[in-house]
Amino acid sequence: MEEEKKVVIELQNVKRYFQVGSETVKALRGVSFKIYEGEFVTIQGTSGSGKSTLLNQLGCLDTPTSGEYLLDGIAVRTMSKTQRAKLRNRKIGFVFQNYNLLAKTTALENVELPLMYNSEISASERRRKAMEALKAVGLEDRMYHKSNQMSGGQMQRVAIARALVNDPAVLLADEATGNLDTRTSFEMLVLFQELYKQGHTIIFVTHNPEIAEYSSRNINLRDGKIREDTINTNIKSAAEALAQLPAPQDD
Ligand SMILES: Nc1ncnc2c1ncn2[C@@H]1O[C@H](COP(=O)(O)OP(=O)(O)O)[C@@H](O)[C@H]1O
Ligand SMILES: [Mg+2]
């Protein structure tokens, strides 16, 4: 028998309704899935399909109207706001479309930030971990650059390092290539594929169906329900795609 893989995330018939005046908007209409350790999952769907609402559930930023969410075996629905915030800080690494870095603050300080909330980690340990995370994303020579002195791709690398520094159970990316040009987007996908190969669990939410070709599994949302949930047996190499892009214009 094959070894049982660890379930990192489990959604059981999750519904999220919003009351807008007399109308009920059904943003999630019963979503169930399990995400296993080491998967690289894209959650894909057109605008209005429920991606952001689902991401807010997965990120412990919101609670479902009904249904259960288990994160690393812990039931999230019945938790208090404070408990959820703590769980989020320890278990989830967020990567946002607009990077969400502190301006005029060095890469190193930005990456150290999530560890500030953990009193068990000393200042020197914090610095060591942040340096390690920046190294992992290829920014060892940019540690003391401030965020406003960096390109979009570099800022997103800092954001990924910050997401990784706490050694989270899952990396949650929200349109993480949305603000980047084609070449830089592929560089980012190369990085996500490297993290996947290292065993990180990744959930990448996007409206862009092309990104699903680079992940190991794609969950397609439509009208707040799963339309399709497929394993990708032919994962494209982002490094190859990057190599095939036309050379950058030097103008
Ligand atoms: N806070 C809210 N109040 C009312 N309706 C909402 C709210 N958030 C989302 N919705 C509605 O839920 C549906 C799904 O939205 P959303 O999750 O943002 O989709 P996506 O991110 O895929 O574009 C849409 O019809 C949207 O208008
Ligand atoms: Mg959205």
Q: Letter for the amino acid at 179?
A: N
> Is the CA virtual torsion 56, 59, 64, 67 positive or negative?
positive
Q: How far is the CA of 19 from the centre of ligand 1 (A)?
A: 11
Please give the pLDDT value at position 118.
82
Please give the pLDDT value at position 117.
82
Residue ID of nearest Cα to ligand 1 atom 8: 53
Q: How far is the CA of 26 from the centre of ligand 2 (A)?
A: 15
Q: Is 250's pLDDT higher than 60? A: no
For the chain, the average pLDDT equals 93
Q: How far is the CA of 150 from the centre of ligand 1 (A)?
A: 33
Higher local confidence (pLDDT), 12 or 85: 12
Ligand 1 touching residue 232 (CB < 6 A): no
Q: How far is the CA of 47 from the centre of ligand 2 (A)?
A: 6
**Which ligand minimizes its atom distance to the CA of 96?**
2
Going along the chain from its start, the domains and CATH numbers come out as: 39-54+90-244 (3.40.50.300)
Q: Is 126's pLDDT higher than 80? A: yes
Exposure class string for 179-195: b at 16+ Cβ within 10 A, else e: bbeeebbbbbbbbbbeb
The DSSP-derived string for 57-91 is HHTTSS--SEEEEEETTEE-TT--HHHHHHHHHHH
pLDDT band at 136 (very low <50, low <70, confident <90, very high): very high
Please give the pLDDT value at position 247.
79
Ligand 1 touching residue 51 (CB < 6 A): yes
> Is the CA virtual torsion 107, 139, 185, 35 positive or negative?
negative
Q: What integer is the mean pLDDT of 191-220?
A: 96
pLDDT tens readout for residues 50-101: 999 999 999 999 999 999 999 999 999 888 889 999 899 889 999 988 889 9
Please give the pLDDT value at position 97.
87
Please give the pLDDT value at position 4.
79
Four-point Cα dihedral 172, 174, 180, 186, nearest 10: 50
